[in-house]
Amino acid sequence: MHRYWNDPEHAACPVIVSFLEAWCEAMPDEQSRHWLPPLRDVVRNTRASATVQSVRCIQAMDWLVREYAPLWLDVDGRPQLVAHARSLRALPALSTTDDPFDVWMRSNLGPIVAAAGVLPDAQFDRVSRVADSTLHAMAGEQASVLGVAASQVIKSTAEGDGAGRAAAVAIGTDAALAEAWETVMSDALSIATGSMHGRILLAVHEGLSPRIEALVVPALERAGVDFSQARSEAQFDKAWRKVRRIAERAVDGDGALYDQAWQMGWDAISGAIEEAQSRAFELLVRMAEQR
């Protein structure tokens, strides 16, 4: 589509232009046609003083922390992360003189990032190996592996991350502000990415575990897998590696699983992506109204 914001006669604010350019790059064509044309007149003649531009950068920073990151924490759904989402939303709006906001952010975002980065299941933990059925534990691990693979593909193409990164690009037009808030920006984006990953992983694991068990467990039984002879940690690890190879071959033999994993992962986050786009649109309107 025509990038009207780059036309000199449109006189759009550089902060808004940077946001729109990055956002447009992250969206597929059908999304661009939906969200961008209605902003044509909204952002016209928004070029303003350096002070107004800085305020617009602060609006984008505030949005990243108090809207975008909490949205994805809620999507993950784990109680601890939902509580973190509430704490971020409860913060007062960021302003140029709001030191308490700054202090809170720098001391509290780190733990939230760490919590969002924790996988929402224990399939990679050794505890899962000594469940009631080691064969079923291996099937569960393969479901998690499939979820991780789906997540990596989805995250690399999901326009959901585009809105947050567009806000970061807009903030970057103010070099001093971007430098001062670099860690906070990075943390807010990491929260979103970690929560997206967790939701995709959990959706795939829950949705495909029964089917993967139906493939993996019989294959392991046919191979005569027996962990009872493992007398040491080294012997157990050797047997586990053998079992993993058998399980991987069983999963790889069903090519449709990967397509299903992608679809399940996408379905789990598509609503949140739509919400993120809508909130980014509203942010741009607020930025344009700032005079």
* pLDDT digit string, tens, across residues 6-65: 998 999 999 999 999 999 988 888 888 899 999 999 999 999 999 999 999 999 999 999
Closest CA to 199 of 243, 248, 160, 244: 160
Give the separation between CA 225 and CA 239, rounded to whole angstroms. 8
Give the separation between CA 189 and CA 196, rounded to whole angstroms. 11
Structure tokens at 65: 């922390």
Cα dihedral value 15, 181, 271, 280, nearest 10: -20
Give the separation between CA 10 and CA 224, rounded to whole angstroms. 72
Closest CA to 272 of 162, 170, 186: 162
| Percent of the chain scoring above 70 in pLDDT | 86
Closest CA to 5 of 36, 30, 32: 36
Contact 86, 75 (CB under 8 A): no
How do residues 70-121 score in pLDDT, each as one tens digit? 999 998 888 888 888 998 898 878 776 655 456 666 667 777 887 777 665 5
> How many domains does the chain fold into?
1
Whether 190 shows a pLDDT value over 90: the answer reads no
DSSP-derived letter for residue 65 is I
**CA angle centred on 64, ends 59 and 68, rounded to 5°:** 125
Give the separation between CA 90 and CA 174, rounded to whole angstroms. 26
Binned at pLDDT 50, 70 and 90, residue 131 comes out as very low
Closest CA to 284 of 166, 149, 184: 166
Give the separation between CA 223 and CA 220, rounded to whole angstroms. 5
Whether 135 shows a pLDDT value over 70: the answer reads yes
Helix axis angle, 256-289 relative to 50-63, nearest 10°? 140
Contact 109, 185 (CB under 8 A): no
The sign of the dihedral angle between the CA atoms of 237, 242, 248, 254 is negative
Judged by DSSP in three states, 224 sits in coil
Q: Which domain holds residue 277?
A: 4-289
